[in-house]
Amino acid sequence: MTSDFLRRWLLAGVLLFVSAPLAAAQGGEFEATVREALAEFQAGRWIEARTLFLRAHAIRPSAEALRMAGNASYEARDYVRATELLEASLAETDPALREDRAALAREALTASGRFVTRLTVVAPEGARVRVDDAERDVSQPIVVARGEHRLEVSAPGFETHRERVRLDTPERTVTLAMHAEATLPEATDEPEEPEEVLVVDTEPVTEPAESGSLTWLWVTLGVVGAAAIATVAILATRDDDPPLGANTPGRVIYALEFGR
């Protein structure tokens, strides 16, 4: 009994000996990080200040560090992040904000609320919802900046639904409807029967020769022969060809056919 009692006290002493320097080291790092964060805040470097306040909160949970990170986000005009951090600072209970600091947090929260909308999305159970191409958990209202946003909901067996909404009120509820995917007819192994083609036997139709065609043939041959005889007679009566003038019919035909 005495032996167990001594062992417990010895173990408690060892834990106290080890944890005290660790707590002191963490406290020193926390304070140094907070001082650096305050310096960045006073210099107007809001993103750097927020990063350092959140780093301090990771070293040691602090509602005040969260509140200051929210203030830095507000100054950086990141109102969505400011709203989230200010709400987290008010929800922190170990340790909680002092009443005067909690009042300041609520005042800042009201100011940032003018630029955000608490969006409630109603979608089929198990559906995936994306807001501005980022998947979001919509089991609770989400905080988004006011303005136009792209919403998308998808689920197996349903067509993906997309729509744009414009948010300009403190709260908004959007219901995303879905429709089942269209199903294609099932393929069958049976080959389709070819369509029947009606074939009709036809005999070539020969047109009767026109009457008098031989007469026209002889007339044509006679005209051609007479023209040939006349041409030979003309060529025989002249020594040289005259030069082709601009208005000579042969020159015109030449220009039209060969582009000269």
Rounded Cα–Cα distance for residues 244 and 234 (Å): 17
Q: Which residue has the higher pLDDT, 123 or 253?
A: 123
Instruction: For the chain, give the percent of residues with pLDDT over 90.
Output: 53
pLDDT for res 222: 65
Please indicate whether residue 205 or residue 99 has the higher confidence score (pLDDT): 99
Please, which residues bridge with residue 134 across strands? Answer: 131
Name the CATH superfamily for 21-114: Tetratricopeptide repeat domain (1.25.40.10)
Would the pLDDT of 242 be above 80? no
Is 245's pLDDT higher than 90?
A: no
Res 12: pLDDT = 40
> What is the average pLDDT value for the chain, to the nearest integer?
76
> Can you say whether the dihedral through the CA atoms of 129, 131, 137, 138 is positive or negative?
negative
pLDDT at 241: 37
Domain borders along the chain are 21-114, 116-175, 220-258
Q: How far apart are CA 90 and CA 101, in angstroms?
A: 9
More confident of the two residues 109 and 18: 109
Asked if the model's pLDDT at residue 11 lies above 50, the reply is no
Does pLDDT of 254 surpass 50? no
pLDDT at 184: 56
For residue range 76-93, list pLDDT tens digits in order. 999 999 999 999 999 999
Q: Which of 113, 111, 137 is nearest to 126 (CA)?
A: 137
Q: Residue 232's Cα: distance from chain center in Å? A: 86
Task: Measure Cα distances from 93 to 50, 58, 86 in Å.
Answer: 21, 15, 13
For residue 41, pLDDT beyond 70:
yes
Which of these, 76, 70, 75, 79, lies nearest to 144 by C-alpha position? 79
Residue 192 pLDDT more than 80? no
pLDDT in tens, 145-159: 999 999 999 998 889
